[in-house]
Amino acid sequence: MVMSAPSPNSCPFIAGPTIDDPKYFIGRDAQLNDMKDRMTAPQPTSISLVGEHRIGKSSLLYRFFQYWNPDRFPPRGSGGGVVRRFAQLLKLGKKRPPYAVIYLDLQDATCQTQAGFYRAIATAAKDHPIVEQYGQHHHWQRLWQNTTLDGMTFAKAVKACKEGGVLLVLCLDKFDALFQHPEEFDNGFYDSLHSLINHSHLMLIVATLKNLEVYRQEQTLTSSFFNVGHVLKLEEFTPAEAAELVKLPKGSAALSVEEPKPALIVEDQEKALQWGGRHPYRLQLAGYCLWQARQQDKDIPWAKAKFDSLLNNGIQPQDVIKNWDWRHLKTYLSRFIWIHNVINLSISQMIGVGITIMVIGAIISAMLGIISWSEVLQRIKNIVCSTLSSNWQNWCNN
């Protein structure tokens, strides 16, 4: 069957990138309300937003940021009621809620050092409407004009801001990127943040793939920062949210007199739900493929083949290898030794098997250009030495 019915001029389905247009953001009302309640409570609670790859963490974090910056984003899409109430306050000349919400993507190259991290926050804070409104004619507003902050001056600016009636709320996307630079972001850095949030001077909403405690153990950090806050686990859509997504661009109704028709006909909506289930990325991808098929007069099998191809291509080998915890090798080597003790194989035979597996992995990684040879060999050396130190003493000491 060839698909030929009309659909909107632009595709509303966004598979992969952060959704920055409010009219295309669907659902997550429960999570947004939870985040709002924890921010507006008498004592704010920082949040650790945890979820698998492409579950929608970045889009949710950015949408929360948009909620609380209504002068920068139009009142449309999910959460429009909140934004409209803020807009009414602006028209009446009244003060808005005293929350300076700032969004940062920590994968940005400018945030890979402490100096860059603090500079990015200061740059966003000094021109923030809330800071300007509440800090007008007050000395603490001028503290943010200094874009060469360090840990001490940053803490001073944050405390002064809170004393002036404004809570600084940092939405830190891809927070786990900081762990790639342990020489910059050490226990002292995290302790400083912990002190600020523990005394309610600062609120953080950080997005990561895994729980912060897992990263603490992996990085052998001791800071209490990783034990503070509420863990908000981001799961798949509810059935209602999934059904709403396949009916896009329903969210653009606020911009037109008549509500536009969905991009997908009912049959295609059902197919999208069948292929994508309730997973945000897979649903977006299914919608995109079905929409594209209709635009190009292709049939449903063509759309399904494209969906399967793009879905499989979305899992890159470098993602698997880079995100894999190499310290599991220590566990595997320990199991080899256990087998040796049980079935009485020689230790040299067991070591040979383990090293063969690691060398194969290293060769594949290096050939793909994913990990350098020096990095792989150093990791293997650390694992082997911690497991077989008595047998490899000379090599480990070099």
Residue 376: pLDDT band by 50, 70, 90 thresholds? low
List, in order, residues 6 or more apart from 114 with CB less than 8 Å away.
Answer: 150, 151, 184, 185, 189
284 pLDDT higher than 80: yes
* DSSP H or E run through 202: strand 202-208
Picking from 29-38, 221-230, 273-282, 371-380, which range would have the lowest pLDDT averaged per residue? 371-380
Residue 65: pLDDT band by 50, 70, 90 thresholds? very high
Domain locations in the chain as residue ranges:
28-233, 239-315, 319-397
Q: How far separated are the first and last CA of the chain, in Å rounded?
A: 68
Counting residues of the chain whose pLDDT is more than 70, the rounded percentage is: 67
Per-residue model confidence (pLDDT) at position 351: 60
Per-residue model confidence (pLDDT) at position 249: 80
Per-residue model confidence (pLDDT) at position 127: 85
Q: Specify which of 142-146, 165-169, 321-325 reaches the highest per-range mean pLDDT.
A: 165-169
Residue 354: pLDDT band by 50, 70, 90 thresholds? low
Residue 323: pLDDT band by 50, 70, 90 thresholds? very low
Picking from 82-91, 104-113, 216-225, which range would have the lowest pLDDT averaged per residue? 82-91
Per-residue model confidence (pLDDT) at position 103: 98
187 touches 197 (CB < 8 A): no
344 pLDDT higher than 60: no
User: Where is pLDDT greater, at 119 or 138?
Assistant: 119
Per-residue model confidence (pLDDT) at position 373: 56
Domain 28-233: which CATH number of 3.40.710.10, 3.50.90.10, 3.40.50.300, 3.40.50.970: 3.40.50.300
d(CA 95, CA 376): 55
How many helical (H) and strand (E) elements, i.e. helices and strands, does the chain have? 18, 5
CA proximity to 255, closest of 15, 21, 19: 21
Residue 143: pLDDT band by 50, 70, 90 thresholds? confident
* DSSP H or E run through 208: strand 202-208
- Three-class secondary structure of residue 235 per DSSP: coil
Q: What is the mean pLDDT of the chain?
A: 80
